[in-house]
Chains A and B, each alone.
Chain A
């Protein structure tokens, strides 16, 4: 029971500090998953890929996934409840009390400061993930660099692809990078 409540509390915090949509949640989740030793970063990234390729809000998908991996079905329910509750409570209060919430000067100021920080944080996670998954390099500890042409090739192909066609759906990117992985590791090497 304590483990379930801990899951609920952890995802409550994550939900409370996620500003700006699903991607803004990735840094918070990565941090908690690593801190609590729930799984390797690689496994979390696999979950992110699946959460991107399945219907529904990304935040719910990833909470359900991480909760299930720790405590089975009950874990998935507690994690999901945790990530939903802050939104639910805050919105119900706002709907009752503030009609001009989005133009309140404290809210405007808060978001003015939080938005650029969140963008910076997402950039840092992107850079850390790229270094880890392309070169096995852990930037925060400065260790593990291996030059791997296989993953570098996948990186160049997928990045070029997403720059040529900007509005490509995440599912295609997951599919194409998966097929590239299969081809390179399964057939060539």
Chain B
């Protein structure tokens, strides 16, 4: 069972390009449909938890599913499985890249690629902005995050903590006296 867990998450890690969200359909395919480790409902819970906790979605869901099936050992093998392909592939590329980065044509290509990557990050920000619940508070917090980090006024961790504290206070105020919240 531990080997199946490891191998399944190894395949998921090896064949998904483009980060954690690209993995979600693969995880569903294996964990819900093929092996029936978890139900559809549990799968949705896991995604909700993975999104509400820090860290890569892929690691969060691997740890959670592994834990569900075989406790902490299961967590360990599933997480190891999803991490190992990345580490191996990147190590090969890193060694290769270190040799070629002085090459002038590689530098030309990367001058273009740096612009491309900047646009990828911009588009990611636009996508996340569209999914945001919009109200005066979220606009204010967005602007705080934008300006404080653009002009490097405080470390990133500080603005995240500020956001969390403001969010919790706001939630406690709007649910005051409501015990079901």
Contact = CB atoms under 8 A, between A and B. Distances in A.
Interface of A: 13, 15-23, 25-28, 31, 42, 45-46, 48-61, 64-65, 68-69, 73, 76-77, 80, 83-84, 86-88, 90-92, 94-95, 101-102, 105-130, 132-134, 139-140, 150-151, 154-155, 158-159, 162, 169-171, 173-174, 176-182, 184-186
A101 to B, nearest CB: 6
B116 A140 contact: no
B19 A21 contact: yes
B14 A102 contact: no
B108 to A, nearest CB: 4
Interface string B36-75: 0000000001001111111111111001100110001001
Contacts of A69: 94, 98
Contacts of A171: 17-18
29 contacts: A16-B55, A17-B160, A21-B20, A27-B156, A50-B93, A52-B117, A54-B86, A57-B82, A60-B58, A60-B59, A64-B90, A86-B54, A88-B79, A90-B54, A101-B49, A110-B164, A114-B163, A115-B132, A116-B141, A122-B121, A123-B125, A124-B150, A130-B122, A133-B115, A140-B150, A162-B119, A177-B116, A181-B115, A182-B105
Nearest to B57: A21
Given A49-B116, A122-B121, A55 B111 contact: no
B89 interface: yes
B170 A55 contact: no
A84 B118 contact: no
A87 B63 contact: yes
Contacts of A80: 83, 86-87
Contact of B116 (A101, A118, A174, A185): A174
A112 to B, nearest CB: 4
A123 B117 contact: no
B1 interface: no
B4 interface: no
Given A61-B90, A117-B144, A22 B56 contact: yes
Contacts of B3: none
B66 to A, nearest CB: 9
Contacts of B115: 130, 133-134, 151, 154-155, 158, 177, 181
Q: Which 3 A-B pairs have the closest CB atoms?
A: A113-B167, A181-B112, A109-B171
B146 A123 contact: yes
A145 B139 CA distance: 30
Given A64-B90, A181-B110, A109 B170 contact: yes
Contact of A118 (B72, B82, B98, B160): B160
The B interface is mostly helix, strand or loop, or mixed, namely helix
Nearest to B165: A113
B82 to A, nearest CB: 7
A121 B16 contact: no
Contacts of A23: 19, 121, 124-125, 128
B172 A105 contact: yes
Nearest to A98: B49
Contacts of A112: 133, 137-138, 167, 170-171
A25 to B, nearest CB: 8
Contact of B85 (A55, A109, A130): A55
A116 B164 CA distance: 10
